[in-house]
Amino acid sequence: MRRFALLLGVILAVGFAGTAQAVDFKVHGDLNNRFMLYTDQAGMFNASETIKGAPIDKDGIDESWGEIKYRLWVEATTNDGKVKGVYAIELGAIRFGDSTALGGSTKGGAFSGDGINIETRWAYTDFQLPGVASKARFMIGLIPFTVNSFVWQETAMGVQFLGAAGPADLTLAWMRGRENFNTSKDDDLFEDLDALLARADFKPTKDSKAGLFALYQKRNPGSNGRVAFASASQYQVKLLGNVDFDIYTLGTDGSWTIPTGFGSAFVNWDLVYQGGSLDDNTAISRDISAFLAHADVGVNFGKARLTYTVWYASGDDNSGDDKIKNFMSTDVDRADSIIFFEGGYLDDNYFTEAPHILDKGLFFNKLALDYKASDKLSVGAAVLYLQTAKALAIGGGKTEKGLGTEIDAYLSYKLFADTEIAINAGYLVADDGMDAFETVKDGKSDADVFRSTARVRYIF
């Protein structure tokens, strides 16, 4: 047995050494320790996408906690860079003291730890087409996928091609967001939620970038097994139930930098149109027509950057008719607001991830000032005003668009080159539109919202 173990060890060592001669390994980590320092509306931040319920309590519910989310991944790359494999695991987020049951064990945050809390974050192979001098790479697997930051930017499974064609960079992809596994000969190949992407990026001038994209998403489960469509709960493509849809999303985005005498000014933009059709288990055949328009306008002067951000996402004021007018993101993580979006440092605890409020769209305004005090310290503040594009139903039979005025602030400091400590806070002076999300709907906003988060993050 000892000799066999020794032989096995030699074989493994030689085998590993032989592999290592052709492959370079890199190990990366993102060790993120986060804290909800304090919030007075725990219901609004006790999970992800709490916008689906009524999370705001008139009297407020205080809470604070700590948690961790750690990632480790390995890159294995051939010495010429032509092939790369990435595998990433993720631990958490685990809250300190969390003993929630999970799969026969717990999440592992309570005494002694020892829970079930490891997931796969990314797993893909990335390779260059042989015989092609220019960039022509395929990524296959569970990949970080981006169409546009308002449309789709998240991990997803599929096949993506990244290449160059003359002056343009091309992205082509087939992604499958949800599978309908066929179990009958009457099932066809188009019952899955598939997406096809074509995107081209250009540099029209040395100071500008522009992109054009076309995204086609479809799911055709047939008449058998369809469910009802409700825009109030199915306001993102990933939330659509087993309904028949064909959605095409066309857009352009880009940026332009303009040198000035005191610093560089810049403009970022996104213009997106959505069309298509959707059929559910009713007789209504719905047409989709929605849009989103966004712009950042800003200027860098010295160590400061002043930015005004505005966007308008269309909303739907009649979810019962045959027209879907609300812009639907697919799967995104907006972080523009600490109160409404994922602007806090706890990315599993937020009101909504989407750039719109349910199916009511959003008119978003933000004026932000960021200041890099030193190479280690960054501070900033922002004032936001949000209202929906179409009115929300609040108590007393009323409707209201106004959500409120928010004030955000943050501080980020580099303890070491790879370790950051950061703290931020947001305070929402709520308008009556927030009554739509309160536990007691009385036609007026009853509570402002505050939350402050922090993190200590080590990356390598």
Partner 1 sequence: MTVRRAFSLVILIFISLVPAAPAAVFDDIARDFAPLSGYVVMPADGEFLVDLDATGGIRVGDLFSVVHPGEKIVHPVSGKVLGTLDRVKGFLQVTRTQSGYSQARPLNVKEEIRRGDVVRRFEHIPAAFLDATGGGRPIFNRLRTALPGLEWRYEAVAGDGKRPPLPEVALLTFVLGPDGLAVRGPDGTLRSYEIPGERRGAPPPASIGKAASADFTVFGTLPEETLMADFGRDGDRLLLAVTEGTRIDVFAVGDNLVPVATGKTARPGRILSLHWWQPQPGVLPLLAASVAVEENRPYSPAIGQTVMGALFAIREGLLVPIREDIPYLLGSFDRDGDGVREALLGQSFDRDTFFGDRIRELRWSGNDLAIGELSFPVSRPFVVQGALFVDLTGDGRPETAFVRNRRLFVNNETDLLYESSRQMGGSLSVLTYDLNPGAADRLFTTVAFEVPPVAVDLDGDGRMEVVAIASEGSGLSGIGSGVRKSWLVTLEYRDGRFIRGSLGPELETPIQGLYASRKGVFVVATQVLSSRLKQKRGSHLLFLPLNDRTYR
- Residue 200 beta carbon to partner 1: minimum distance, rounded to whole angstroms: 15
Binding residues for partner 1 restricted to 376-405, rule: CB under 8 A:
378, 380, 382
Beta-carbon neighbour count of residue 397 at 10 Å? 7
- Helix H or strand E encompassing 326: none
Contact 272, 251 (CB under 8 A): yes
Tell me if residue 433 falls in helix, strand or coil: helix
Residue of 253, 316, 370, 431 interacting with partner 1 (CB under 8 A) = 370
SS3 content of the chain, % helix, strand, coil (to 5): 10, 55, 35
The one segment of 49-57, 245-253, 312-320, 373-381 that binds partner 1 by CB under 8 A: 373-381
Region of 396 on the Ramachandran plot (φ > 0 left; ψ -120 to 50 alpha; else beta) = left
Stretch 277-316 residues interacting with partner 1 (CB under 8 A) = 296, 298, 300, 302-303, 305, 307, 309
Residue 372 binding partner 1, by CB under 8 A: yes
Measured from the CB atom, the residue of 244 and 331 that comes closer to partner 1 is: 331
Q: How far is the CB of 296 from partner 1 (least distance, A)?
A: 6
CB neighbours of residue 99 within 10 Å: 14
Contact yes or no for 191/221 (Cβ under 8 A): yes
> Dihedrals φ, ψ of 238, to 5°?
-70, -15
d(C-alpha 364, C-alpha 353), whole Å: 14
User: Phi/psi at 192 (nearest 5 deg)?
Assistant: -80, 165
Output the smallest distance, CB 168 to partner 1, in A: 11
Among positions 402-431, residues that touch partner 1 (CB under 8 A) are 410, 418, 422
- Span 146-165, contacts to partner 1 by CB under 8 A: 146, 149, 153-155, 162, 164
Of the candidates 203, 232, 440, 443, which one interacts with partner 1 according to CB under 8 A?
Answer: 203
Strands (E), 302-398: 304-313, 323-324, 362-372, 377-393
| Number of C-beta neighbours around residue 5 at 10 A | 9
Nearest to 38 by CA among 59, 65, 71: 65
> Can you tell me the distance from the alpha carbon of 410 to that of 96, in angstroms, rounded to the nearest whole number?
24
Give me 303's structure tokens: 């160590």
- Tell me the per-residue interface mask from 324 to 363 with partner 1, x by CB under 8 A, - otherwise: ---------x-xx-----xxxx-x----------------
CB of 115 or CB of 298, closer to partner 1: 298
Among 179, 207, 321, 322, binds partner 1 (CB under 8 A): 207
Nearest distance, CB of residue 279 and partner 1, angstroms: 33
Q: Measured from the CB of residue 372, what is the shortest distance to partner 1 in angstroms?
A: 4
Question: Among candidates 270, 177, 253, which has minimal Cα distance to 212?
Answer: 253
Q: Fill in the per-residue mask, 44 to 83: x = in contact with partner 1 (CB under 8 A), - = not in contact.
A: ---------------------------x-x-x-x-xxx--
Cis peptide bond N-terminal to 93, omega within 30? yes
**CB of residue 266 vs partner 1: minimum separation in angstroms?**
4
**Cα angle 296-301-303, degrees, rounded to a multiple of 5:** 105
Q: Would you call 182 helix, strand, or coil by DSSP?
A: coil
Question: Stretches 39-47, 99-107, 143-151, 242-250: which one binds partner 1 (CB under 8 A)?
Answer: 143-151
Q: Are 129 and 136 in contact (CB under 8 A)?
A: yes
Pick from 122, 127, 138, 273: which binds partner 1 (CB under 8 A)? 122
Query: Where along the sequence are the contacts to partner 1 (CB under 8 A)?
Result: 24-30, 71, 73, 75, 77, 79-81, 86, 88, 121-122, 126, 133-135, 137, 144, 146, 149, 153-155, 162, 164, 203, 206-207, 255, 257, 259, 263-264, 266, 268, 296, 298, 300, 302-303, 305, 307, 309, 333, 335-336, 342-345, 347, 366, 368, 370, 372, 375, 378, 380, 382, 410, 418, 422, 459-460
